[in-house]
Chains A and B, each alone.
Chain A
Amino acid sequence: MVCAHNINGIGGTCGLNVKVSPTVGGLVSNPDATVIRTPFMGGSATINGTAVKVWGFNDGYSGLQTGPFPSPTIRVRQGQIVHTKIYSPSMPHTIHHHGIEPQQIFDGVGHTSYDILGFYTYQWRPHQAGTYFYHCHTNTVLHAEMGMYGALIVDPPKGQGWAADNTTQYNVERMWAVDDIDTAWHCLDWDAAICGGDAGLNNFNPNLFCITGKGQAELNTDANLASPAVAIKCSRGQTVLLRYIVASYVPQRITFDSRLGDVIVIAEDGRVLPQQNNLGRGAVIIGAAAERFDIILRPNTAGTKIPVTIEFLNYRCVSGTPSVIGSIKGYVNVT
């Protein structure tokens, strides 16, 4: 799906607080980690064989109008003072570190701080390891749907290889950002209906589904599960950490094949559970929009393309009983 044009310049800014490279006090001169993100708005992703226009962030300062979907992962360690620098040269955007709780001015919400044109630095210090994500919070309803999000991983003091609790060691790690896409939304303008008018942003009918940017067709044709972005490949007895991000706007019902063994949730929403939650074999997890689950699997049965089946539920649910509107399977190879 190709849009003729959907960056018509800065039209309406109702409800926004657009500032050009605002300066704020309190920034340290020597942060422990620095991340740079440049928005792009002319990208394309192929999902289930369909080309979809996407927006997102590139790593570093970039003049590119294309880039990856989803956006590159931010990875830091618990306790570090982090600077996330945004460079937004043409259109206002923000970075909200979802689940991270910094000062208001570094929270990346336009109407409680700034919608950024130019440069800005968000300063934060994560106090708890876990799985988070980041996304643009300008006209969020559209910008997050367009793909302006990526994973945010905070490693515990022991570093990579250790789960959020700093005591569970893993051998294999995957991040699944599981998303729903309504292609009818993907030709809307940056400021769609922000000053009123009806852009249909209440009416969401996803027709494509993906795991970390890959649709079912892309996952299925990857016969050897060679794509490290999604496929989980492990040996029997190994410990897998699956960082599951519900990146969709509709809820998900996630069903683990019983061959994957016990499904153990050790953290949710960037917080270690007081007790590990062992849901057993063949477990089902219901995930609401933007929830995250840190899941430990220790598969002990060899198999190829063992599925994790994700069903997407209609957000309209008058009766209280949800209906399924789509699904996708992610795969695990156990040798």
Chain B
Amino acid sequence: MKRRDILKLGATATTATLVSGSVGLLSFSQRASASTISVVLNAVAGDITMVDGSSVRVLTFSQSNAPSFPGPTILAQEGDSVQVTLNNRLNTGVVFALGGTNIRQYVAAASSVTTTFVVPRAGTYLYYDDQNNGVNRVLGLHGALVVMPAGYSNQSFAGAPTFTRQYKWLIGSVDTNWSNQIRTNGASHVSSLNPSTYQPRYFTLNGKSYPHTDGDSKTAPYGLYGQAALLRLLNGGGMINAPHFHGNHVEILSVNRQNYTSNRKKKDIVSMFPLDTRDVLLPFIRPPDAYPPITTQMQEFPMHCHSEMSQTAGGGQYPNGLHVCMHMGMVPPSEPTL
């Protein structure tokens, strides 16, 4: 796709926001009782297309044989059990580890293991392959587990502020040199990659770079004024990021699953080291420093990483990186799912 077409696509997505959709649909409905959620994760290698059209080899957890960068989101509520059947189709061992917990399962090359665990308390968790000092994770073997609190469908923990919509924002980054080495030598080459040689060249949110992030209902936040969005940020990539919010400061609700029940900070930068998770509330208030004040006018502001190297694709093409448009005073063209 040519760059102009990409931009056109972004413009089309923006126009579509003018069409009204249904309001307030949540991507999660409480169940009366706990249950066991079965998830099949296939560890697969495959190629995905970056924003400039280039193809890169990734290793991912997927529900099919095609790569899924990042892996599928597992959505549970407190009390649930998750049964993960991990089919490893790579020629190297993989691990399913859950950040912030002791849950960890190794699966040898070309074999399958089923493991069951009770989900930890409500929050946002990165599941990932923790081998080779992060190499496996950064190549794409990561995804999100979201645990909703029992009895709540619009709060991330008891006592948290309510939200109208929730989004998962999983940060990734891609080194084409590493990808080429995996393509040439196979997945087992992971143990030969030196973490200190990492040079990310593409920067993604939920696997997409701007402007493709903006055409993705799971990624681009929308809301009428007062319709707060919960953003669940995770960093599965190999870079220290600094997401910056225009238009609204966000309220920090949880930092690596530590919940703040009071005295919450309001930030326009959210520090995201690799493996970090943050739950923040994007309040969708009228931009507070506007004069004359905003009443109902629609407004669009970027969220972008301020470690600005992340605002590029293939060494340039600003701002086609970890960057998304936030649409205020608008309902989404289609409601988000996690």
Contact = CB atoms under 8 A, between A and B. Distances in A.
Contacts of B247: 101, 104, 107
A143 to B, nearest CB: 9
A63 B272 CA distance: 41
A268 B271 CA distance: 12
A256 interface: no
Residue in B244, B273, B288, B308 whose Cβ sees the most chain A Cβ within 10 Å = B308
Contacts of A320: 134, 273-275
Interface residues of B, number: 67
Given A104-B300, A194-B318, A128 B288 contact: yes
A317 B289 contact: no
Contact of A289 (B52, B196, B308): B308
A202 B312 contact: yes
A254 B272 CA distance: 17
B143 interface: no
A291 B289 CA distance: 19
Contacts of A286: 271
A179 interface: no
Contacts of B273: 251, 317, 320, 322
A318 B319 contact: no
A201 B240 contact: no
| Interface size range on A against B | 35 or more
A162 interface: no
Interface in B101-139: 133-135, 138
A199 B200 contact: no
A77 interface: no
A101 B249 contact: yes
B150 interface: no
B246 A197 contact: no
Contacts, number: 217
Interface string A116-155: 0000000111111000000000011110110000000000
B267 A269 contact: yes
B204 to A, nearest CB: 13
Given A101-B249, A275-B263, A316-B199, A141 B311 contact: yes
Given A202-B315, A269-B268, A15 B7 contact: yes
Interface string A162-202: 00000000000000000000000000000011111111111
A286 B314 CA distance: 29
Q: Chain A binding site: helix, strand, loop or mixed by DSSP? A: loop
A288 interface: yes
B6 to A, nearest CB: 9
Contacts of B135: 318
Q: Chain B binding site: helix, strand, loop or mixed by DSSP? A: loop
Interface in A68-115: 81, 96, 98-104, 106-107, 109, 111-112
Interface string B302-322: 100111111110111111100
A104 B199 CA distance: 34
Contacts of B275: 320
Nearest to A322: B240
A104 B294 CA distance: 10
A139 B240 contact: no
Given A274-B264, A316-B239, A317-B274, A196 B52 contact: yes
A319 interface: yes
Contacts of B138: 318
Interface of B: 3-4, 7, 52, 133-135, 138, 195-196, 198-201, 203, 238-242, 244, 246-249, 262-275, 287-292, 294, 297, 299-302, 305-312, 314-320, 325
- In the A-B complex, the 6 residue pairs with the smallest Cβ-Cβ separation, listed nearest first, are A193-B316, A198-B315, A288-B271, A290-B306, A288-B242, A125-B291
